[in-house]
Amino acid sequence: MTNVAILGYGVVGSGVSEVIRRNRENIRIKAGDEISVKYILDIRDFPDSPDRDLIVFDPDVIFNDPEVSIVVETIGGTGAAYEFTMRALKSRKHVVTSNKELVAAYGPELLQTARENGVNYLFEASVGGGIPIIRPLNQCLAANEISSITGILNGTTNYILTQMKKKGEDYTNALREAQKNGYAEANPAADIDGFDACRKIAILSSIAYNEFVDYRGIYTEGIKNITIEDMVYADEMGAVIKLVALSRRENDRIFARVSPVVLPKSSPLANVEDEFNAIVVKGDAVGDAMFYGRGAGKLPTASAVVADIIDIVRHPGDIGRNNWVRNGNNNLVDIDDTETRMFVRMKAKDPSRAKEMAQNAFGGVEFVRTGKINDENEIAFTTENMKEGRFKRILSDVRNSEAISDITSVLRIFEEK
């Protein structure tokens, strides 16, 4: 019998307890041992919960009990979660978490502490909810040199963008509906500004490239400025607009970015709709492999947490799978030094002069027209591939031109490399 303690009886924590209870027999077969929840730490009590008798308020009960070999941290954030995780590891208890903030911020320290104490720190549930992605990267694709990871890693923003596209709703209404349906939180900043996806791509990159990628160095842009008109243009170009997190190995450095992109419909990520997530991994042997499913939610996330628990029960001695060393941000390529094609929309005072000016300034632009937007002063075009730094300098010149009254949208165009 393996005894587990859960820290934090919120959505994920209660889901973990539910999955362990519901699928006890199947889990016993897969783990080779029975798994049981002995304690749940919370500051609230839950008189109506089936787990009410397991609730404890004193963390020492857990850390001092030698029968508890695995601790599940589902508190979230980097405060108590950090402190309790450290204490659990130093008490030589394995820790499993769904807490992407903590892994992205303190992964190197926590992994080192785990190694020093002969235990594991596993976090499959921190990325992609129930979608198996971290174990596949670490194990199933272990024979590959991974060259890139591209993902729709945030369900909230994907749900909002899908609603906008399908129903023609503007961003504000789509966000409100997402909040009403439980796909967005009351304070949705972490999702819509791209911070959540940023932490996730940092974690995946650290695993794929065998070196710690600090999320604080990753260029991150959210979806607040996306409009229905942008989507109409994207459709005209045979594309959709998605919030895409990507990272690529470029020589001995890493390029990572989170931003909305114009994504060709031929991309397997273009069909990922609603709250679903998907991750495409490119390896030198496997080619493209894609993993798709629900990126959040109580039971999907709990499913991933319990998979980590089962892994530890089967392989208690397999520690030190990840060895992240903090090295500053200097393994990341500066966004200005990365290349992309851009999509630009602007309002012109003098459309024909504005077009000529854009053509001259950027060189080789392609104009995009759509019959669905009837505004003589609207100009839209795509540039050729160029360094972002150069693009910005040219754009700032263009912005000052008298032929232009406003630059409405600037969006990166996603291209396979």
Catalog residues that contact its own copies under the rule CB under 8 A.
15, 19-20, 22-23, 26-27, 29-32, 124, 130-132, 135-136, 138-145, 210, 268, 271, 278, 283-294, 297, 299-300, 302-307, 309-311, 314-315, 318, 320
Helix, strand, coil % (nearest 5) of the chain?
Answer: 40, 25, 35
Kindly give the interhelix angle for 388-399 and 351-362, rounded to the nearest 10 degrees. 150
Phi-psi region of 233 (alpha: psi -120 to 50; beta: other; left: phi over 0): alpha
Can you read off the two tokens belonging to residue 99? 């807490």
Per DSSP bridges, beta strands 55-56 and 239-250 are unpaired
**What 3-state DSSP class applies to 10?**
coil
CB of 279 to its own copies, least distance (A): 10
Clarify whether 200 is annotated catalytic.
yes
**What does the alpha-carbon distance between residue 161 and residue 224 come to, in Å, rounded to a whole number?**
10
Q: Which is nearer to its own copies, 79 or 238 (CB)?
A: 238
* DSSP category for residue 138: I
Phi-psi region of 251 (alpha: psi -120 to 50; beta: other; left: phi over 0): left
Phi, psi for 239 (deg, rounded to 5)? -140, 170
Q: Which is nearer to its own copies, 20 or 174 (CB)?
A: 20
In 204-324, where do the E strands start and end?
Answer: 219-220, 239-250, 253-264, 276-283, 287-294
CB of 289 to its own copies, least distance (A): 4
**What does the alpha-carbon distance between residue 169 and residue 185 come to, in Å, rounded to a whole number?**
19
Q: Which is nearer to its own copies, 316 or 351 (CB)?
A: 316
Report CA-CA distances (Å) from 95 to 152, 206, 394: 27, 19, 50
**What does the alpha-carbon distance between residue 14 and residue 299 come to, in Å, rounded to a whole number?**
9
CB of 185 to its own copies, least distance (A): 21
* DSSP category for residue 109: H
Q: Which is nearer to its own copies, 143 or 189 (CB)?
A: 143
Q: Which is nearer to its own copies, 31 or 110 (CB)?
A: 31
CB of 131 to its own copies, least distance (A): 6
Phi, psi for 31 (deg, rounded to 5)? -85, -25
Burial class (CB in 10 A: 0-12, 13-18, 19+), 233: buried
**What does the alpha-carbon distance between residue 225 and residue 160 come to, in Å, rounded to a whole number?**
12
Q: Which is nearer to its own copies, 242 or 345 (CB)?
A: 242
CB of 116 to its own copies, least distance (A): 17
CB of 183 to its own copies, least distance (A): 14
CB of 12 to its own copies, least distance (A): 12
Single-letter amino acid code for the residue at 379: I
**What 3-state DSSP class applies to 100?**
helix
Exactly one of 38, 165, 200, 298 is catalytic; name it: 200
**Could you identify the residue written with the tokens 């300034």?**
361
Q: Which is nearer to its own copies, 31 or 218 (CB)?
A: 31
- CB-based contacts of 304, cutoff 8 Å, min separation 6: 98, 124, 125, 128, 129, 130, 131, 132
Q: Which is nearer to its own copies, 148 or 340 (CB)?
A: 148
Report CA-CA distances (Å) from 35 to 12, 67, 91, 251: 17, 12, 20, 45
CB of 271 to its own copies, least distance (A): 5
Looking at the annotation, which residues are catalytic? 200
